Structure 1
Amino acid sequence: MKRAFLLILILYCSSVLAQAPANLGQAKSVANQSNKPILLEFFQPDCEFCQLAAQDFANNDTIKTLLKSVVYYPMDVNLAEGESLSTSYYVENTFPVFALCDSAGEIISHWTGYINVSLFERSLKEALSNPITIKSRYEMLGSSPTPDNIITLAKYNNEIGENVKAAELYRRAEGFQKGSDYLFKIFENMADATWKGKSSFKQFLQSADDVLAAKSGNITNVTGVGIIVTRVARKVGRTDEIDKYLQPGIDITGNKEDKRSKDLHTTLIADQALYVKKDTAGAISIKKESLGSDWENIPQKFYSFAKWCLERNIDLDEAENFASKAIEGSTEGKFRASILVTLADIYKARGKNTEAINTMELAILQDPQNSYYKTKLTEIQTKQGVK
């Protein structure tokens, strides 16, 4: 199946590139002459979602018609121009990346990923419906700000990872139209910014306080605050401050009978046991009970338990055993690679750096195009003193 997708991608790209511009300069020239915007696509040949996009682009009439309204220019990020333009167009480690641009190459809209025809159609049509460049929108922001323009810029900054800017823009939008949804978007962006070290934990907690103070009764928002605050607090070593953010989620899900609410409730009370009550054994017991009977023999469940332990740096001996067991029953390729990376992280957390290096090398053999894995391997090797 993987070979079939790869063949489709090769044949499709060969066909498209035969008609497509030879480089971005030529794409700009064609766009200028035809009065059409440019649609850039950055792809990895071995990316399964890029392969899915290639298959749909080759066979789906809706997408074929849509592409007639743009100058379509796909770029392999492993080749010279694709690699050199990746930074300018905010391409990181997730593919494919699309950028709708004007004839000068200025970004109009930017989105990451491909799932299906309808979502791609919606993204492209939305971008084409109001083809104002981001540069122009910033100019308008100073002279005549509108809610629509502010929200568009906020979404764009969120998409390219400029989370502090995104949060600031959502705050401006909140001034036009009060609503807890904006407050939660501010909170999510402050979480990402704090995770990256671009904002303080204090500022992040203030955004969490704002969501809870709104008293929206939205289960997703209230439980999301507890779960995300805990995750960020673990990273920065501030789990002593999380109880006030866990309890509202525990309360709002306590009497719910649907599976999703029960799962959220379990996550929150387990973390409360671990970080607030300092009861590691109790937290592990809560988690295991939530997995149901015979969970030790169900790969999806015992692997999820291994990851849960790794995230919290507890019961790593058992986590190692279950991650190793999950590898034995996995299929080769990207999924096995992801399990191997989990096992490598467990080894690293236990100080077993040689085993971590060997396991990361195995993961890369399973998913050789994954640059993130190569970066992780280099980090572990550097710590171990391996060149």
Structure 2
Amino acid sequence: MYKVQGDTVTGKPMVDRFGVRAYPTFVALNAQGELLHSWLGYGQPEPWVKRMQEIKADPISVDARKSRHDATPTFRDALVLGQVALGGSDYVEAERRFQEASDLDPEAAGEENVPIQLFRAAYFGAGTGDVTIEHAVEVATGLLESPDVKPAHVLEVTERLARAVDKIGTEMLVPFLQMAHPQIEPLEDEDLQSRREKFLIEYALFAESDTEKAVRMKKGTLPDGWESDPDELNGFAWWCFERKVNLEEAEALAQNGVDLTPPGSSQANVIDTLAQIVYLRGDQQRATELIRQALEMDPENEYLKEQIKKFTGVSESHM
């Protein structure tokens, strides 16, 4: 296995060649450099090993697989072509192939988790504008309404939609939370308890519109001593910022995080959280001062330069 850092001079050509937009993306090539397979995410060891064994058993290039599939369509080829398209950020093609796989063998599609892969294609496609948000919502609805949907997949759908609430709006998110709640609330799977807790927090916040309850539940998930841990303070403050709740306390906690963090890039990161909250609360001048302070600590940080442009409307290079 050869690891490539995508944001380096040597890594960027690989990223461009295989259409990589998310990490980690795994790419399998043959000795001639032909693409055999690509896929997203770490996942669990067993499925990863299984996939490698399947590649070894049928080491056919993607181009040859397409030709074979055109001549004789099979579930396995449609699935692999969908995964390759997803790994290469061709989300429309990925969704088409996953749907084709589901039509060819619905039972195998359930065993191979094709429905959630189809949703990912639609979700990422909506993020890039390749498909409409309404279409992604339609695919998500179909998945959650399936009688055979897996709890882990229900959680993934709601987690992704909650992260996109600024784009889809609470009026679209809430029905999904309500649909998922009867399946997730009684869930006892130990491996999913942490995600269940996060779901219930989002449910309290968005579906029940009970901000105090959601904040209280969120604090209940934090470790002992979190009030004096700069990373935990920053994480909680950022959670409040993303959801636009509890901002007065979030600002105070972010300031505590800044005070507890030694100067440098780590403190610059916490200052950014504080600046974002301050800006959201309407103090553009102080937010700008804070982000300039952060940039002084981490002067090569392009993200912080963009933050100054966001807060002032003026590029740092023109100031």
Q: Does residue 136 of the first structure (1) align with residue 64 of the second (2)?
A: yes
Q: CA deviation at 1:226?
A: 2.5
Which residue of the other structure, out of 214, 220, 223, is the alignment partner of 2:152? Answer: 220
Q: Does residue 172 of the first structure (1) align with residue 104 of the second (2)?
A: no
Q: Does residue 231 of the first structure (1) align with residue 163 of the second (2)?
A: yes
Residues 134-171 of structure 1 show CA distances to partners (whole Å, capped at 9, x for unaligned) of 22223333222211111111111222222232222111
Residue 42 (structure 1) aligns with: 4
1:12-161 correspondence runs (5 A): 42-43=4-5, 77-78=8-9, 82-84=11-13, 86-92=15-21, 94=23, 98=27, 100-101=29-30, 103=32, 105-110=33-38, 127-161=55-89
Q: Does residue 191 of the first structure (1) align with residue 119 of the second (2)?
A: no
Q: Secondary structure at the match of 1:132?
A: coil
Question: Which amino acid is 2:29 matched to?
Answer: L
2:92/2:130 contact within 8 Å kept: yes
Q: Does residue 245 of the first structure (1) align with residue 179 of the second (2)?
A: no
1:163/1:190 contact within 8 Å kept: yes
Q: Secondary structure at the match of 2:36?
A: strand
Gap change, CA 1:347 and 1:111, over 3 Å in 2 = farther
Percent identity between the aligned chains? 21
Question: Which amino acid is 2:92 matched to?
Answer: V
User: CA–CA distance in 1 between the matches of 2:125 and 2:16?
Assistant: 19
User: CA–CA distance in 2 between the matches of 1:148 and 1:107?
Assistant: 17
Gap change, CA 1:322 and 1:83, over 3 Å in 2 = same
1:154/1:165 contact within 8 Å kept: yes
Residue 278 (structure 1) aligns with: 209
2:201/2:217 contact within 8 Å kept: yes
1:334-353 correspondence runs (5 A): 339=270, 342-343=273-274, 345-347=276-278, 349-350=280-281, 352=284, 353=287
Question: Which amino acid is 1:175 matched to?
Answer: D
User: CA–CA distance in 1 between the matches of 2:215 and 2:311?
Assistant: 30
Question: Which amino acid is 1:221 matched to?
Answer: H
Give the total of aligned pairs.
307
User: CA–CA distance in 2 between the matches of 1:336 and 1:129?
Assistant: 50
Residue 29 (structure 1) aligns with: none
Residue 5 (structure 1) aligns with: none
User: CA–CA distance in 2 between the matches of 1:134 and 1:356?
Assistant: 50
1:302/1:322 contact within 8 Å kept: yes
Which structure has more relative contact order (CA 8 Å, sep 6+)? It is: 1
Q: CA deviation at 1:287?
A: 2.3
2:65/2:77 contact within 8 Å kept: yes
1:223/1:250 contact within 8 Å kept: no
Q: Give the TM-score normalised by the residue count of structure 2.
A: 0.75
Gap change, CA 1:42 and 1:295, over 3 Å in 2 = closer
Q: Secondary structure at the match of 1:87?
A: helix
Residue 288 (structure 2) aligns with: 354
1:345/1:356 contact within 8 Å kept: no
Q: Give the TM-score normalised by the residue count of structure 1.
A: 0.64
1:240/1:275 contact within 8 Å kept: no
Question: Which amino acid is 1:43 matched to?
Answer: Q
Residues 332-380 of structure 1 show CA distances to partners (whole Å, capped at 9, x for unaligned) of 9886676555445445544545246436636756xx6xxxx62563364
Question: Which amino acid is 2:239 matched to?
Answer: W
1:41/1:96 contact within 8 Å kept: no
Q: Secondary structure at the match of 2:248?
A: helix
Question: Which amino acid is 2:118 matched to?
Answer: I
Gap change, CA 1:327 and 1:161, over 3 Å in 2 = farther
User: CA–CA distance in 2 between the matches of 1:321 and 1:184?
Assistant: 40
Cα root mean square deviation, aligned = 4.0
User: CA–CA distance in 1 between the matches of 2:296 and 2:29?
Assistant: 38
Gap change, CA 1:131 and 1:360, over 3 Å in 2 = farther
Residue 207 (structure 1) aligns with: 139
Residues 189-227 of structure 1 show CA distances to partners (whole Å, capped at 9, x for unaligned) of 222222233222221121122112212262212233333
User: CA–CA distance in 2 between the matches of 1:360 and 1:221?
Assistant: 39
Residue 307 (structure 1) aligns with: 238
Residue 186 (structure 2) aligns with: 255
Q: CA deviation at 1:242?
A: 2.4
Larger CA Rg, structure 1 vs 2: 1
Contiguous gaps of at least 5 residues in structure 2: none
User: CA–CA distance in 2 between the matches of 1:92 and 1:357?
Assistant: 28
Gap change, CA 1:127 and 1:282, over 3 Å in 2 = same
Question: Which amino acid is 2:73 matched to?
Answer: P
User: CA–CA distance in 2 between the matches of 1:298 and 1:158?
Assistant: 38
Gap change, CA 1:341 and 1:148, over 3 Å in 2 = farther
1:98/1:112 contact within 8 Å kept: no
